[in-house]
């Protein structure tokens, strides 16, 4: 089975050592999504895109034929027009369920959670553990929040670097195996 990974620069791997500047095929193989997927990996992510574009790029890859599963890291809702992100996320979830596509989702920041449609299947979400230090987010966090608040190395343009991705892959692995790998 091929794993499609969709998202923004966090899944593209901006500022990671094997993709410092991007480019047409310049995505990283060191993102948490790529590490979870292993060799059977297609990157449908791209820096700076909206949740609508993330969903469209993922669907385009999923339509291409081979048996696939998908991991999506939704971006900040401010990249979409008002109220678009909740509809897009629910539609994508329903698309995956209708087509029997194994999926796992997360997000870069938990601000997206308060906007979600109540019908969103949160069993298919992985949220990073809440913080324990003063000033940390005291509710489950998105990848970016978790990396920043845990003081992982961040590149000059604001992207978590390799160690954050490795540790994120370790944290997500059990949920990924439960929702995606069991369907191999």
pLDDT value at position 183? 66
CA atoms within 13 A of residue 146's CA, in its CB half-sphere:
23
Look up the pTM and report it: 0.94
In angstroms, rounded to a whole number, what is the distance separating the alpha carbons of residues 170 and 79? 29
CB 36 within 8 A of CB 169: yes
pLDDT value at position 181? 73
Band of the pLDDT at 67, cuts 50, 70, 90? confident
What residues does 103 pair with on adjacent strands? 70
User: Class of 2-183 per CATH?
Assistant: alpha beta
Q: How many CB atoms lie within 10 A of CB 77?
A: 23
Give the pLDDT confidence of 86-145 residue by residue, as tens digits: 999 999 999 999 999 999 999 999 999 999 999 999 999 999 999 999 999 999 999 999
What residue segments make up the domains of the chain, in order of their start?
Answer: 2-183
Give the pLDDT confidence of 151-161 residue by residue, as tens digits: 999 999 999 99
Higher-confidence residue of 65 and 14: namely 14
In angstroms, rounded to a whole number, what is the distance separating the alpha carbons of residues 39 and 29? 9
CB 85 within 8 A of CB 77: yes
Sheet with 68-74: strands ordered across? 41-43, 2-6, 68-74, 103-107
Sign of CA dihedral 135, 48, 45, 118: positive
pLDDT value at position 101? 94
Give the pLDDT confidence of 70-90 residue by residue, as tens digits: 999 999 999 998 779 999 999
Average pLDDT of the segment spanning 160-174: 98
List all residues 6 or more positions away from 126 whose beta carbon is below 8 Å from its beta carbon.
104, 105, 106, 171, 172, 175, 176
Band of the pLDDT at 39, cuts 50, 70, 90? confident
Average pLDDT of the segment spanning 146-170: 97
CB 123 within 8 A of CB 89: no
pLDDT value at position 26? 81
Tokens coding 48 = 């700076």
pLDDT for 22 beyond 60: no
Residue 40: C-alpha distances to residues 37, 95, 113, 150 (Å)? 6, 22, 30, 30
pLDDT value at position 83? 76
pLDDT for 11 beyond 60: yes
């Amino acid at each position: 089975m091929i794993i499609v990974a969709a998202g923004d620069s966090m899944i593209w791997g901006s500022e990671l050592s094997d993709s410092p500047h991007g480019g047409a095929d310049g995505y990283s193989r060191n993102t948490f999504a790529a590490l979870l997927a292993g060799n059977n990996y297609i990157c449908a992510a791209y820096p700076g895109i909206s949740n609508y574009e993330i969903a469209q790029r993922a669907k385009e890859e999923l339509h291409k034929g081979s048996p696939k599963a998908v991991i999506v890291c939704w971006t900040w809702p401010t990249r979409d027009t008002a109220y678009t992100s909740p509809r897009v996320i629910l539609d994508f979830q329903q698309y995956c369920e209708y087509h029997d596509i194994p999926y796992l989702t997360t997000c870069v920041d938990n601000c997206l959670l308060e906007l979600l449609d109540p019908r969103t299947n949160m069993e298919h979400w992985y949220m990073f553990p809440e913080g324990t230090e003063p000033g940390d987010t005291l509710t489950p966090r998105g990848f970016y929040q978790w990396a920043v608040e845990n003081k992982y190395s961040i590149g000059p343009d604001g992207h978590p670097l390799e160690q954050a991705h490795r540790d994120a892959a370790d944290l997500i692995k059990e949920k990924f195996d439960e929702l995606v790998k069991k369907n191999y």
